[in-house]
Amino acid sequence: MPSVIFVKRDGSEVTIEADAGLSVMEIGRDNGIGLEGTCGGSLSCATCHVVVDEAWVEKTGAPSADEEDMLDLAFGLEDTSRLGCQIKMTDDLDGLKLRLPDDD
């Protein structure tokens, strides 16, 4: 089972094992790490915003045009920002590291 590492807003790290096929948003939301995912993954809220660790950018790939449009509405946008609902866990992403963006 692949695992994902979330760096929370206070700097602490949480490692969560999750089934392949689940989105990063679902994993974060269901484990209470402060990721919302208000729209349920339909690309219409940007509350699932995460910042991908540089080392993982190549594997997670680039956002789609629709994702880019929604990301433009997110707070604390960074070069490696993604919407968590658009990153599905796979065995290849085992160890994926993400940070929750600053929200102020």
In the complex, the residues that contact ligand FES under the rule CB under 6 A are 25, 37-39, 41, 43-48, 70, 83, 85
| CB 96 to ligand FES: min, Å | 16
| CB 45 to ligand FES: min, Å | 3
Q: How far is CA 9 from CA 19, 22, 32, 83, in A?
A: 24, 22, 13, 17
Tell which residue, 13, 12, 14, 16, has the closest CA to residue 3: 16
Q: Between 16 and 70, whose beta carbon lies closer to ligand FES?
A: 70
Q: Between 2 and 84, whose beta carbon lies closer to ligand FES?
A: 84
| CB 70 to ligand FES: min, Å | 6
| CB 43 to ligand FES: min, Å | 5
User: What gap in Å lies between CA 65 and CA 32, rounded to an integer?
Assistant: 29
Q: How far is CA 25 from CA 48, 53, 61, in A?
A: 6, 16, 16
Q: Between 47 and 60, whose beta carbon lies closer to ligand FES?
A: 47
Tokens of 102: 């600053």
